[in-house]
């Protein structure tokens, strides 16, 4: 079973760029807002100051989260083999339909069903993992058991 945390090189690059922006320009912007809010006087009833402190807390929380992701995740590149693994693009047909759909298996940090990126930890991702072209897979969805046939793995 696949239990690791994974990200693609593209996601790693995006997280590193976001982290750089948060640590630099965003942090300076919030510090500037805090300084301005302090200059307005009485901090106990200063809405600008309290908002800036809240924004600062959210910024620092996001910075810590990205750092944690980058430290704990393994960067993987799909090998393009015949077995479904992290990074694989899988073409499937849902049982009873003729519509082909392509999904990419990714780590949970970058899963986005709207653009066809499925987490390796989702029921669908777990069902696909380790399978190959021609295999049928099934998994429990909220509406019951769903069956797919794997048409291609790349």
Q: What would the two tokens of residue 126 be?
A: 């777990």
pLDDT of residue 93: 95
Q: Which two tokens stand for residue 128?
A: 């696909």
Q: Where are the domains of the chain?
A: 6-75, 89-153
Q: How far apart are CA 70 and CA 15, in angstroms?
A: 8
Q: What is the mean pLDDT of residues 111-138?
A: 93
Cβ neighbour number for residue 27 with a 10 Å cutoff: 15
Topology of domain 6-75 in CATH is Helix Hairpins (1.10.287)
CA distance 115 to 151: 19
| Alpha-carbon span 73 to 108, nearest angstrom | 10
Per-residue pLDDT tens over the stretch 60-106: 999 999 999 999 888 887 666 789 988 899 999 998 888 899 999 99
d(CA 134, CA 83): 11
Query: Partners of 153 in the beta sheet?
Result: 90
Residue 3 pLDDT greater than 50, yes or no:
no
> Candidates 3.10.50.30, 3.30.1490.120, 3.50.7.10, 3.40.50.300; correct CATH number of 89-153?
3.10.50.30
What is the value of pTM for the model shown? 0.72
Give the number of other CB atoms < 10 A from CB of residue 120.
Answer: 26
């Amino acid at each position: 079973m696949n239990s690791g945390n994974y990200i693609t090189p593209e996601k790693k690059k995006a997280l590193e760029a976001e982290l750089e922006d948060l640590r630099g320009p965003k942090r300076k912007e919030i510090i500037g807002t805090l300084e301005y809010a302090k200059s307005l006087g009485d901090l106990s009833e200063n809405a600008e100051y309290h908002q800036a402190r809240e924004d600062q807390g959210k910024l620092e929380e996001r910075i810590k989260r990205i750092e944690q992701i980058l430290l704990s995740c393994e960067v993987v590149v799909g090998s393009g083999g015949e077995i479904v693994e992290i990074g694989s693009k899988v073409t499937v047909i849902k049982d009873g339909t003729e519509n082909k759909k392509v999904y990419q298996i990714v780590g949970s940090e970058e899963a986005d069903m709207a653009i066809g990126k499925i987490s390796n930890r989702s029921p669908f991702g777990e069902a696909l993992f380790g399978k190959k072209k021609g295999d049928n897979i099934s998994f429990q969805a909220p509406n019951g058991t769903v069956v797919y046939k794997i048409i291609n793995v790349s």
